């Protein structure tokens, strides 16, 4: 098991100016970090990889889809652009030296249409992710599909929903991301959902109910960590938290007030919370 932190706390497009943040991540005691990859050409991946290697830090990446590259569009050309986006992200992950690409890879965030998912949309998403997983397998890369809450997507909201999709896809390198923030809204029993998904969970986002410091809010952490240990989870536990330092990210995540004392306070307190919770699970 490795502990990481998402750099979205500081930036949506990392570059050499954020090497000092990586230095801090190492100093605080993390095993690695997660990089936003919303545009696969947005960052100097090889330079970041070299700096991270020098620090001994592992890395993962997170991406999102756009309306123009939407795997559940009724337009086959738009679905193809969705696959092409994922393939470019996979290529960028190779440059970065990331072992996992995560995120809601099936539809744009916030792309609500006033109804639930259709069976066609389920199959379109599955088809795109099957092809993306085949492409990722050539690079020995794991894909972790993330169900989001109902206010951010109508396509996949629960682990059960996601489990049906990854089982239909049948790719060993395509699994699920369990996010405690979204589960707090959508899962009747998050721990039971973890146990049911079992080894299909290949990535975990540690996120408090208010997107602030893990351990400072209302998430029932002990059952979650107990369940993760019960299924033998041994991959990344990555903090995903957001602040107001980047207006575009604050707007997308609806963060309108100060949620923590400082990024360092959140990172260090959150790390201790994970370490203590894992040890006592």
Among 241, 221, 215, 240, which residue's Cα sits nearest to residue 281? 221
Helices 76-96, 45-55: axis angle to 10 degrees equals 40
Among 264, 257, 222, which residue's Cα sits nearest to residue 239? 264
Q: What is the pLDDT of residue 27?
A: 98
Separation CA 163–CA 270 (nearest Å)? 28
Nearby residues of 94 by Cβ (< 8 Å), 6 or more positions away: 139, 141
For 15, which DSSP code? -
Distances (CA, A) of 251 to 9, 85, 262, 269: 13, 23, 19, 25
Q: Which tens digits make up the pLDDT trace of 166-202?
A: 999 999 999 999 999 999 999 999 999 999 999 999 9
Among 75, 78, 168, which residue's Cα sits nearest to residue 122? 168
Q: Which tens digits make up the pLDDT trace of 65-78?
A: 999 999 999 999 99
Question: What tokens were used for 2?
Answer: 């490795």
Domain borders along the chain are 2-280
Q: What is the pLDDT of residue 121?
A: 98
Q: What is the pLDDT of residue 246?
A: 65
Burial class (CB in 10 A: 0-12, 13-18, 19+), 78: middle
Q: Is the pLDDT of residue 137 over 90?
A: yes
Determine the average pLDDT of the residues in 30-44.
Answer: 96
> What CATH topology corresponds to 2-280?
TIM Barrel (3.20.20)
Name the band, by pLDDT with cuts 50, 70 and 90, for residue 248.
low
Determine the average pLDDT of the residues in 262-281.
Answer: 97
């Amino acid at each position: 098991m490795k502990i990481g932190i998402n750099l979205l706390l500081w930036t949506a497009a990392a570059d050499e100016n954020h090497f000092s943040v990586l230095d801090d991540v190492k100093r605080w005691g993390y095993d690695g970090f997660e990089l936003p990859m919303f545009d696969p050409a947005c960052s100097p991946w090889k330079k970041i990889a070299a700096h991270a290697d020098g620090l001994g830090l592992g890395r993962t990446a997170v991406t999102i889809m756009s309306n123009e590259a939407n795997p559940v569009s009724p337009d086959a050309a738009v679905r193809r652009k969705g696959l092409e986006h994922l393939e470019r992200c996979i290529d960028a992950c190779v440059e970065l030296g990331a072992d996992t690409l995560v995120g809601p890879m099936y539809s744009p965030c916030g792309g609500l249409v006033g109804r639930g998912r259709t069976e066609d949309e389920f199959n379109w998403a599955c088809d795109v992710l099957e092809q993306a997983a085949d492409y990722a397998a050539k690079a020995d890369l794991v894909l972790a599909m993330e169900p989001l809450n109902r206010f951010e997507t109508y396509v996949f909201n629960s682990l059960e929903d996601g489990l049906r999709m990854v089982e239909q896809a049948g790719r060993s390198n395509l699994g699920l991301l369990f996010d405690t923030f979204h589960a707090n809204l959508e899962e009747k029993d998050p721990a039971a959902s973890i146990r049911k998904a079992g080894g299909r969970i290949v990535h975990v986002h540690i996120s408090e109910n208010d997107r602030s410091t893990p351990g400072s809010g209302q998430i029932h952490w002990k059952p979650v960590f107990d369940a993760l240990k019960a299924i033998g989870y041994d991959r990344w536990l990555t903090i995903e938290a957001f602040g107001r330092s980047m207006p575009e990210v604050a707007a997308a995540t609806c963060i309108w007030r100060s949620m923590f004392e400082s990024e360092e306070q959140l990172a260090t307190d959150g790390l201790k919370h994970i370490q203590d919770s894992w040890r006592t699970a």
